[in-house]
Structures are given as C-alpha cells and as structure tokens.
Amino acid sequence: EAGMADRSSRPHHSPGRTPSRTERRVIKVRLLRRWGPARIAHFLHLVPSTVHRVLTRYRLARLSHLDRTTGRIVRRYERERPGELVHVDIKKLGNTPDGGGHKAHGRAQGSRNSSAHRDPTRPRRRHGRPNLGYSYLHTALDDHSRLAYSEIHTDEKKETATGFWQRAHTFFHQAGITVERVLTDNGSCYRSRDWRDELARAGITHKRTRPYRPQTNGKVERFRRTLLDEWAYARPYHSEQERRDAFPGWLHTYNHHRGHTALKGQPPTSRVPNLTGQYT
C-alpha cells in the first residue's frame, strides 16, 4: 500500500540547476541596470536562456513588473467592490489644427497648418509659435470594474473639476455604484475648498497621492495611455472638433465592448451591478 501512494516526481537533488549565488547576481543586475537576458548573460558569462529562466522563476521577466524609480517589484492591487475607490485625474492634450496636423499631412504641411491657426481667445505670446490651445480630459475611473467617465474641457480650474465630479458621481450612482473614496494627485483644483466641500457633502473620503508618485494613481494613468493610443492618436484627424466628436463613441466602446486584460477579457460593464438601469 505504501508503494501505491502518490509521490512527487521532483528529484531530491538538481545538480544542473543554476546556483543560488548566480541567481542573486542575475537579479541584482536586473534590478540595478534593467538589462535584458542577452545583455545580462554576456556580462555574467552565462547563457541567455539560463538568465531568462531565472528571471521568469522570480517574476522579473518583464520590466513592467518593476518600479521605474526604485527598481522594486510592483505590488498590484484591486479593490474588492465597485465604488470602494475611484481614481480621478486630468490629461492635458494639445489641440489639432484646422486642416490636420503632421500625422495627417506630414511635418511640413502640418507645421504650416499649425502656424496658420488662429484662436482669438488665445493670442500668441511668441512670434512664429502656434497657439492652438489645449484640451483637458477629466476622467474618473472605478478601481474594481475599470468603468470610466470622462469629459473634455478647456481648463482645469476648481469650478470645472468640481462640476465634472458632480456629473461623474451621478453617473456612478445611476450604475448602482456607491462611491466611498476618491484618489487624486495634488493639483490645485483638488486642494480647493470647492472640491473638499463637494466630497464632504456626499460623505466621500478624499485621498491624495504622494508627490512625484503617479504610480499610486496607476490605473487612471494606464487608462490615459489606452485613450491616447486608441482614440487621440488612433487615426489622423482634420480638426479638433472631429476628434472630439469621436470621443463619446470610443468611451462607450471602452465601457461596454472592449475586452480588458485585467478583467480576463471582459468589458468593465461585466463588473457593474446596474449600468443599464434594469434593477432600479
């Protein structure tokens, strides 16, 4: 009966495994210099496949798993329920000139379109420098479901940020999400009394990130990169209004149809209790 019991097939000794001292050297070079397996192997006189196995074993095969500032392993987290934490941030984006920029016509024609652009509300401060103005994308992102609410505005003043949050809070409430905490950076609009009073009126706790640590608000930062790749710079636009008109459709696709890698290929609506209002 003892011979019929299941036992591990792993050998008692592994003479061919990389020594622990060599593994520590590989990890040290990876953390300090951010080199790839081939370069580390040349530096330590090893084989690239051996270095890659060591990095995979200790979950260091991808540089995205390391913090860019400290080199430490990134500890990812996710809140257990919708509304437990909502990330809020603003993205400053240059406007597209009338006729299209360099992505539509190349550098030469794009520069001429930018130079010919006139905005009567924003006079030029320097001769020969285009003054296209900026768009400010105010975004609120739920930590658990990744459900996003975003608006395009012309500034990032405290009145604009507070008004945006009122509409974002209504959006989450209609989706059946009770917002408990809001995480922002240390921008002036988020340190204003208007913002503080608006959150306090709804019983929401306000949290701020550490200075110069955008990684703390990493989920909305990653959303912004997706936004730029799949909407702002996805195709050449011939005017700023054309790009803005395409934004609501893209945001609907992101929330309802686009598969999210952190949600196992499901859209954010799969984690929202009452997005369509069927349980009112």
The domain in which residue 150 lies consists of 86-95+133-271
Q: 160 and 245, same structural domain?
A: yes
* Number of CB atoms found within 10 A of residue 160's CB: 17
Note whether 140 and 71 are same-domain residues: no
Written as six digits, the tokens of 116 are 């010919």
Instruction: Indicate if 53 and 156 belong to the same structural domain.
Output: no
Q: Is residue 54 part of a domain?
A: yes
Residues 195 and 265 in one domain: yes
Strands (E), 143-203: 148-153, 181-184
Q: Are residues 47 and 90 in the same domain?
A: no
Same domain, 190 and 254: yes
- Burial call 171-186: b when 16+ CB within 10 Å, e when fewer: ebeebbbebeebbbbe
Co-location of 46 and 180 in the same domain: no
Which phi-psi region, left, alpha or beta, contains residue 96 (left: φ > 0; alpha: ψ -120 to 50)?
beta
Does residue 149 fall inside a structural domain?
yes
Q: What is the CATH number of the domain that holds 210?
A: 3.30.420.10
Co-location of 236 and 207 in the same domain: yes
**Are 187 and 59 contained in the same domain?**
no
Whether 142 and 260 share a structural domain: yes
User: Residue 62 domain-assigned?
Assistant: yes
Residue 112 belongs to a domain: no
Please indicate, yes or no, whether residues 182 and 216 belong to a single structural domain of this protein: yes
pLDDT in tens, the chain (280 residues): 888 888 888 888 877 788 999 999 999 998 888 888 999 999 999 999 999 999 998 888 777 666 555 556 656 667 888 999 999 999 998 887 776 666 665 655 556 556 555 555 555 555 555 567 789 999 999 999 999 999 999 999 999 999 999 999 999 999 999 999 999 999 999 999 999 999 999 999 999 998 877 778 888 988 999 999 999 888 888 888 899 999 999 999 999 999 888 888 899 999 887 766 555 4
Q: Tell me, yes or no, whether 26 and 91 share the same domain.
A: no
* pTM score over 0.75: no
